[in-house]
């Protein structure tokens, strides 16, 4: 009897080792397949602790890429490295701040672009929500582990929860407040934003988000935004509407790039006097606040640096003017400003321009 028991144990161990070997072989093949559908992104950053690299996921044959809406996109030299080391420049097609997602496209020049490997994001959005306890894989370029033809990092983890995101970047609330997968793997590190979560079969599930702290525990949170994510927005007329990641992909004409700054006088009055625009990309620092103006009522101060307007990044004074050209009097805007070493959010209501003839 003892011999039979020992034999069964040996057989069980042998099968277990064989199963693990098969699983490892299968996992390696899946990792290689998924890696071909991801890209390494290189853009602005590289100072004050801001990474200049990130991750994106290919979603079409003509080179469209989904990634997180981050600071690395704020550059004229946004570069993409494919899995085989091929390098391209890319342009930002659209941003959706309330979902914290951006849509890019590879610039193929005269050669054109024909991407062989990419994910079907529409299929991913149709998949049912995974239950807590489900094993998943995470792929990203965290800590710039990959450049050119080097493979992305791979982690195994478990979905710990599916719940609403309650996160912060510094003192700012995360722009996306919808449901996310909370993961037990340490996935959300520098450069990981825009990476993906898949099933252990390599099926696309969700996008890894930016680095955030959990508002409930004040600890770093590891999460991913499902491709079925939706969020409520408000248009300039105050009408509530809803948008989704699929809207960003299918209705690109709705997200046309900002027009060139108008040559005519501004159509709104905010009371902000910026520093002189003396170089090509002059940062939008406040030089003066007009007394009694909307900016004065919002308690803006000289030397404040305007970072975002309604979630749109303000790289320079020209961008500031271009964004405000799309507003009309009585629109309320939210400004995110840097004051010293602090980030502050203020709201102000735009007014009609002052008639200088009076």
How far, in whole angstroms, is CA 341 from its chain's centroid? 23
The residues, any chain, with a CB within 8 Å of residue 329's CB and separated by 6 or more, are 267, 268, 269, 350, 351, 352
Percent of the chain at pLDDT exceeding 90: 44
Residue 247 is predicted with a pLDDT of 86
Specify the higher pLDDT residue, 285 or 48. 285
- Provide the mean pLDDT of the chain: 82
**In whole angstroms, what is the distance from residue 300 CA to residue 143 CA?**
37
Write the pLDDT tens digit of every residue in 252-270.
645 544 444 444 345 788 9
Where residue 49 falls among pLDDT bands split at 50, 70, 90? low
CA 243, 226, 204, 130 torsion: positive or negative? Answer: negative
| pLDDT score recorded for residue 57 | 97
Q: What are the tokens at 247?
A: 């809207």
Q: Which CATH architecture has domain 38-226?
A: Beta Barrel (2.40)
Mean pLDDT of 155-172: 83
> What percent of the chain shows pLDDT beyond 70?
80
Using an 8 Å Cβ cutoff, are 73 and 92 in contact?
yes
Report which of residues 36 and 6 the model is more confident about: 36
| Residue 134 near residue 209 (C-beta atoms within 8 A) | no
CA-CA distance, 152 to 200, in Å (whole number)?
Answer: 16
For residue 10, pLDDT over 80 is answered with no
Rg (CA), the chain: 24
Nearest-10 Cα torsion for 344, 349, 351, 354? -30
Per-residue pLDDT, 356: 42
At residue 321, φ and ψ (nearest 5 deg) are -65, -35
Higher pLDDT, 334 or 277: 334
Q: Assess whether pLDDT exceeds 90 at residue 249.
A: no
Residue 137 pLDDT more than 80?
yes
Q: Determine contact, residues 261/349, Cβ cutoff 8 Å.
A: no
Q: Which tens digits make up the pLDDT trace of 173-230?
A: 677 888 999 999 999 999 999 999 999 999 999 999 998 888 777 788 999 999 999 8
Cα-based angle 288, 306, 75 (whole degrees, multiple of 5): 135
Mean pLDDT of 228-257: 72
Angle at 334 between CA 290 and CA 279, to 5 degrees: 60
How far is the C-alpha of 58 from the C-alpha of 255, rounded, in Å? 19
The angle formed by the CA atoms of residues 321, 322 and 326, to the nearest 5 degrees, is 105
pLDDT-derived band at 70 (thresholds 50, 70, 90) equals confident
What is the mean predicted confidence (pLDDT) over 283-311? 90
Around Cβ 211, how many Cβ atoms within 10 Å?
17
CATH dotted code for 272-349: 2.30.42.10
Would you place residue 294 in the very low, low, confident or very high pLDDT band (cuts 50, 70, 90)? very high
Decide whether 38-226 matches 272-349 in CATH topology: no
Strands 286-289 and 272-274, how do they pair? antiparallel
The residue ranges of every structural domain in the chain are 38-226, 272-349
Helix (H, G, I), strand (E, B) or coil at 337: strand
**Higher per-residue confidence, 194 vs 284:** 194
């Amino acid at each position: 009897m003892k011999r039979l028991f020992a034999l069964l144990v040996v057989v069980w161990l042998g099968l277990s080792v064989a199963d693990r070997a098969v699983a490892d072989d299968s996992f390696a093949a899946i990792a290689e397949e998924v890696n071909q559908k991801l890209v390494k992104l290189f853009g602005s950053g590289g100072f004050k602790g801001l990474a200049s690299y990130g991750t994106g996921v290919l979603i079409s044959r003509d080179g469209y890429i989904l990634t997180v809406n981050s600071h690395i996109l704020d550059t004229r030299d946004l570069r993409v490295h494919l899995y085989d080391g091929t390098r391209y420049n890319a342009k930002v097609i659209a941003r959706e701040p309330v979902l914290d997602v951006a849509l890019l496209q590879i610039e193929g020049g005269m050669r054109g672009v024909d991407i062989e490997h990419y994910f079907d994001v529409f299929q991913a959005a149709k998949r049912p929500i995974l239950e807590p306890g489900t094993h998943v894989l995470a792929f990203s370029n965290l800590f710039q582990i990959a450049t050119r033809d080097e493979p992305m990092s791979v982690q195994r983890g478990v979905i710990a929860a599916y719940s609403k995101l309650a996160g912060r970047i510094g003192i700012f609330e995360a722009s996306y407040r919808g449901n996310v997968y909370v993961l037990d793997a340490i996935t959300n590190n520098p450069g990981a934003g825009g990476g993906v979560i898949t099933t252990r079969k390599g099926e696309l599930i969700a996008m890894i988000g930016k680095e955030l702290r959990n508002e409930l525990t004040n600890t770093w949170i590891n999460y991913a935004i499902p491709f079925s994510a939706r969020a409520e927005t408000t248009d300039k007329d105050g009408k509530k509407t809803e948008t989704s990641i699929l809207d960003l992909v299918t209705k690109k004409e709705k997200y046309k790039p900002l027009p060139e700054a108008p040559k005519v006088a501004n159509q709104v009055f905010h009371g902000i006097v910026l520093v002189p625009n003396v170089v090509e990309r002059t940062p939008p620092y406040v030089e003066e606040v007009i007394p009694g103006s909307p900016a004065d009522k919002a308690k803006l101060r000289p030397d404040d640096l305007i970072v975002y307007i309604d979630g749109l990044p303000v790289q320079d004074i020209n961008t500031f003017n271009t964004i405000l050209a799309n507003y009309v009097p009585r629109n309320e805007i939210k400004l995110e400003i840097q004051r010293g070493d602090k980030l502050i959010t203020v709201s102000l209501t735009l007014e009609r321009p002052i008639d200088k003839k009076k």
